[in-house]
């Protein structure tokens, strides 16, 4: 030691300090602890010794700062100021490595660190081959003793046979069938990590190798929980591990856009999360890390939505709600509200009373009683002296709503009007005049409500039914006077998904049907028993009931084929059921034509409606008791559930027969969900589980967020927590202009770019 120059001593000390810093200050790089090393080697550098005195008991943050200072004192390179935008070359990755990473689309530090492992392998406890049971699959490490390439005489099979010794001294043979190139990849003396099935014959142990890696000297592939990435030809696991490891090692501490919030949210730092997500120390640490990364995904998503929709704290109307109003409303109803309706109404009224603009989505299965809740809200608006409007996607729905609202509100003295395209000019003009003067308190209508020339005296509440049928711009026209907004939807989107898709809409669910409503009895029939369905249809028609027969759309944009299929079915049924009056509804009809067919069906002018999936959601055909769906497997469960909601709305016992055109086990299992459940939200969740969100129909594809870790079907708690934080952050800093949010803003730009969102209001 005495003969070492000062320069040699400096380097001897500097190296372990740098490694300790790269390892994140866990005091595990130096055997016996860093502090002892510093006391021994650090005599010529008293300042360094002082800085690192008591290292063992320091907080991690302090350790890292002190390490950086000590490294500076010893003339080490200045600490890299890492940014997620740092290009990979700045991290010391050579051009060859960078080319490989670019092949996976990874260019910056951000890309690389968010390239999360697909899965992990627990290789903490590598066993000796000796302990593995005959026939079991295992991962072991072996050193190559010798190798040979064997050609079997019969059939010209080629075997690579390699003799290994494991760390405990047990010998075994690794075997590869018909992969002669392996021979060149295993060098004598190399240590390999081998996975495969172990066979024991007498004293001999062999392994049929499924895959293997070079242990590569670094302990990245053994003795730990090992990350397994989505790799690619020429870009292997060992390479990816080393690249990520090197990137992490070159950065003492990763910046954290949520540094100010993470502790209070019970979240680990981003530095911890990213390091542990790639190289977990324990399962527990891994879970914590993934939780944080998921949280960030949702938070960025939600901040993005909220920023784009102009902030969620817009001022709206502030309504007065008195107990008297609600008593009068309830007294005029022919039934008591269900508990779910009461709860949702309370949520709606709380929004209406607050100064913030209401933006609430009321979801509920068909027939759950959304319209009644809307009626109560419209009544409150009328009592407050402002106008309310309800906009429905079709005339027939608008008329139906107008009838219901008239039933509920006319007895309370509310002045209602209907505005639809098919009205005569004179009639229309009169309605427009009453809207302008404020004489009309509640108007129900179609797109006619947002046409040129429609002016409200003071629109305070807008209710939009089946909102997904309206374009954003169309809605905006109705919302010019900043009314409170209530959206009603029967599409049973799971809550967790809805929160994310709809961004800053608050959500209420009516998750209970009014009492006495009988569930639609559902049966699945195979293709062979198909005619039974139509025999049953004949019986229903004889009782004076009506029947829907739905045939799926072929493909988007193939309306001609779809029409042909529906027409063929109609002809078949006309032959089969000569006494039944049949008509057809299809996607090529103009909206007025569709309305006319539905109107005639409602009036009972025919018995059986063959239709592609264009049946208007929400139209009541009280005498319809049977829904037959051909090729039911082509529909989503949620969609089928909505379809069967068309029947049994008049209190008659109702049935749904699903004809499975293709009866694989998976198909039947999926359809069975409908036989066993009548709960639209449960069904939608199952649909999501069994198909994956990308396949969920009825949702705009671009509205599907592209999440790496998040699982929309099961992340409800995380989504809600991140959403609350997003709201709090924007409440304090609506445009993220505070310098302390600069990092966060940058991450939103960089990481949420790919995610297309449904615009809200």
Residue 510 CB, nearest distance to Mg ion (Å)?
A: 11
618 binds Mg ion (CB under 5 A): yes
**Phi/psi of residue 438, nearest 5 degrees:** 90, 0
Residue 564 CB, nearest distance to ligand ADP (Å)?
A: 33
Binds 514: which of Mg ion, ligand ADP, none (CB < 5-8 Å by kind): ligand ADP
18 or 616: whose CB is closer to ligand ADP? Answer: 616
209 or 374: whose CB is closer to ligand ADP? Answer: 374
The SS3 assignment for 242 reads helix
Instruction: Kindly tell me the burial class for residue 332, based on how many C-beta atoms sit within 10 Å of its own C-beta (0-12, 13-18, 19 or more).
Output: middle
State the binding string over 331-350 for ligand ADP (x if CB under 6 A, else -): ----x-xx--x---------
Residue 548 CB, nearest distance to ligand ADP (Å)?
A: 17
**Tokens at residue 576, please?**
């089969």
State the binding string over 500-529 for ligand ADP (x if CB under 6 A, else -): --------------x---------------
Among 253, 371, 613, 639, binds ligand ADP (CB under 6 A): 371
Chain positions 601 to 630 lying near ligand ADP, rule: CB under 6 A, are 618
363 binds ligand ADP (CB under 6 A): no
Instruction: Kindly tell me the burial class for residue 156, based on how many C-beta atoms sit within 10 Å of its own C-beta (0-12, 13-18, 19 or more).
Output: exposed
Stretch that binds ligand ADP, among 210-218, 365-373, 518-526, 569-577 (CB under 6 A): 365-373
225 or 654: whose CB is closer to ligand ADP? Answer: 654
705 binds Mg ion (CB under 5 A): no
State the binding string over 276-315 for ligand ADP (x if CB under 6 A, else -): ----------------------------------------
Among 227, 257, 316, 367, binds ligand ADP (CB under 6 A): 367
368 binds ligand ADP (CB under 6 A): yes
Chain positions 335 to 394 lying near Mg ion, rule: CB under 5 A, are 371
Binds 88: which of ligand ADP, Mg ion, none (CB < 5-8 Å by kind): none
The SS3 assignment for 290 reads helix
Residue 333: CA count within 13 A, CB half-sphere = 17
Instruction: Kindly tell me the burial class for residue 175, based on how many C-beta atoms sit within 10 Å of its own C-beta (0-12, 13-18, 19 or more).
Output: middle
370 binds ligand ADP (CB under 6 A): yes
Residue 335 CB, nearest distance to ligand ADP (Å)?
A: 4
Residue 518 CB, nearest distance to Mg ion (Å)?
A: 18
> Which letter does DSSP use for residue 146 in this model?
E
Residue 349 CB, nearest distance to ligand ADP (Å)?
A: 17
Residue 486 CB, nearest distance to ligand ADP (Å)?
A: 12
203 or 515: whose CB is closer to ligand ADP? Answer: 515
Q: CA quadruple 324, 327, 328, 329: dihedral positive or negative?
A: positive
221 binds ligand ADP (CB under 6 A): no
Residue 302 CB, nearest distance to ligand ADP (Å)?
A: 28
- Cβ–Cβ < 8 Å for 595, 400: no
Binds 369: which of Mg ion, ligand ADP, none (CB < 5-8 Å by kind): ligand ADP
Residue of 77, 43, 40, 38 lying closest to 58 (CA atoms) = 38
- Cβ–Cβ < 8 Å for 112, 90: no
Instruction: Please state whether 610 falls in left (phi above 0), alpha (psi between -120 and 50) or beta.
Output: beta
Cα(256)–Cα(21) distance, integer angstroms: 18
Angle separating helix axes 637-644 and 680-691, nearest 10 degrees: 150
The SS3 assignment for 331 reads helix
Cα(386)–Cα(324) distance, integer angstroms: 18
Instruction: Please state whether 544 falls in left (phi above 0), alpha (psi between -120 and 50) or beta.
Output: left
Residue 512 CB, nearest distance to ligand ADP (Å)?
A: 9
- Cβ–Cβ < 8 Å for 129, 174: no
- Cβ–Cβ < 8 Å for 661, 472: no
The SS3 assignment for 409 reads helix
372 binds ligand ADP (CB under 6 A): yes
421 or 514: whose CB is closer to ligand ADP? Answer: 514
403 or 695: whose CB is closer to ligand ADP? Answer: 403
Task: Give first-to-last CA distance, the chain, whole Å.
Answer: 74
Contacts of 423 (CB under 8 A, 6+ apart): 431, 448
Among 24, 117, 174, 369, binds ligand ADP (CB under 6 A): 369
Write out the residues near ligand ADP by the rule CB under 6 A. 335, 337-338, 341, 364, 366-372, 514, 618
Write out the residues near Mg ion by the rule CB under 5 A. 371, 618
């Amino acid at each position: 030691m005495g003969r070492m120059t000062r320069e040699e001593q400096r380097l001897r000390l500097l190296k372990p300090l740098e490694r300790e810093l790269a390892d994140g200050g866990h005091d595990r790089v130096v055997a016996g602890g860093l502090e002892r090393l510093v006391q021994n080697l650090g005599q010529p550098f008293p300042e360094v010794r002082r800085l690192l005195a008591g290292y063992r008991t320091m907080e991690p943050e302090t350790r890292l700062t002190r390490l950086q200072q000590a490294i500076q004192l010893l003339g080490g390179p200045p600490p890299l100021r890492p940014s997620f935008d740092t290009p990979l070359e700045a991290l010391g990755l050579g051009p060859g490595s960078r080319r490989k990473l670019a092949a996976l689309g990874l260019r910056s530090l951000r890309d690389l660190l968010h390239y999360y492992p697909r899965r992990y392998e627990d290789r903490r406890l590598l066993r000796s081959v000796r302990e593995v049971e005959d026939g079991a699959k295992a991962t072991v490490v072996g050193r190559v003793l010798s190798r040979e390439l064997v050609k079997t005489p019969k059939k010209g099979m080629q075997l690579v046979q390699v003799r290994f010794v494991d760390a405990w001294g047990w010998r075994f043979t690794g075997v590869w069938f018909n992969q002669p190139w392996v021979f060149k990849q295993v060098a004598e003396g190399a240590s390999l990590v081998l996975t495969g099935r172990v066979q024991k014959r007498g004293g001999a142990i062999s392994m049929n190798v499924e895959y293997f890696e070079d242990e590569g000297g670094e302990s990245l592939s053994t003795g730990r929980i090992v990350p397994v990435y989505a790799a690619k030809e020429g870009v292997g696991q060992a390479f990816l591990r080393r690249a990520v490891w090197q990137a992490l090692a070159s950065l003492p501490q990763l910046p954290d856009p949520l540094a100010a919030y993470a502790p209070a949210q019970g979240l680990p730092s981003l530095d911890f999360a990213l390091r542990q997500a790639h190289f977990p120390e324990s399962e527990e640490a891994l879970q914590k890390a993934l939780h944080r990364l998921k949280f960030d995904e949702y938070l960025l998503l939600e901040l993005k939505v909220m920023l784009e929709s102009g902030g969620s704290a817009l001022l709206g109307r502030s309504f007065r709600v008195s107990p008297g109003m609600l008593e009068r409303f309830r007294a005029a109803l022919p039934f008591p509200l269900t508990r779910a309706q009461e709860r949702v109404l309370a949520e709606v009224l709380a929004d209406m009373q607050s100064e913030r603009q209401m933006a609430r989505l009321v979801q509920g299965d068909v027939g759950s009683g959304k319209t009644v809740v809307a009626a109560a809200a419209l009544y409150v608006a009328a009592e407050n002296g402002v106008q309310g409007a309800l906009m429905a996607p079709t005339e027939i729905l608008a008329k139906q709503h107008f009838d219901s609202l008239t039933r509920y509100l006319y007895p309370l003295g509310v002045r209602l009007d209907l505005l639809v395209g098919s009205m005569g000019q004179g009639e229309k003009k009169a309605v427009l005049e009453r809207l302008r003067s404020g004489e009309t308190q509640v108007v129900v209508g179609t797109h006619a409500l947002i046409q040129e020339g429609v002016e409200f005296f003071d629109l305070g509440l807008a209710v939009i039914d089946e909102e997904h049928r309206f374009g954003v711009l169309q809605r905006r026209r109705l919302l010019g006077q900043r009314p409170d907004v209530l959206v009603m939807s029967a599409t049973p989107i799971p809550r967790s998904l809805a929160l994310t898709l709809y961004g800053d809409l608050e959500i209420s669910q009516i998750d209970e049907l009014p009492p006495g409503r009988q569930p639609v009895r559902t049966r699945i029939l195979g293709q062979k028993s198909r005619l039974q369905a139509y025999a049953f249809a004949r019986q229903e028609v004889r009782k004076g009931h009506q029947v829907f027969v739905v045939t799926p759309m072929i493909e988007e944009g193939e309306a001609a084929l779809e029409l042909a299929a529906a027409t063929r079915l109609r002809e078949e049924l006309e032959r089969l059921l000569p006494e039944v009056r049949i008509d057809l509804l299809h996607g090529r009809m103009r909206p007025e034509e569709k309305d006319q067919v539905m109107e005639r069906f409602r009036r009972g002018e025919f018995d059986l409606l063959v239709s592609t999936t264009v049946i208007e959601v929400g139209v009541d055909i009280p005498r319809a008791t049977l829904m037959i769906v051909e090729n039911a497997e082509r529909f989503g469960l949620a969609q089928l559930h909505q379809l069967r909601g068309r029947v049994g709305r008049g209190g008659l016992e109702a049935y749904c027969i699903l004809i499975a055109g293709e009866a694989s086990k998976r198909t039947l299992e999926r359809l069975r969900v409908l036989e066993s459940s009548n709960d639209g939200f449960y069904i939608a969740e199952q649909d999501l589980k069994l198909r994956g969100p990308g396949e969920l129909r009825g949702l705009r594809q671009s509205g599907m967020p592209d999440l790496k870790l998040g699982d929309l079907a099961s992340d409800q708690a995380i989504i809600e927590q991140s959403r609350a934080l997003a709201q709090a952050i924007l409440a304090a800093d609506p445009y993220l202009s505070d310098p302390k949010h600069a990092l966060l803003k940058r991450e939103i730009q960089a990481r949420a770019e790919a995610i297309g969102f449904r615009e809200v209001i």
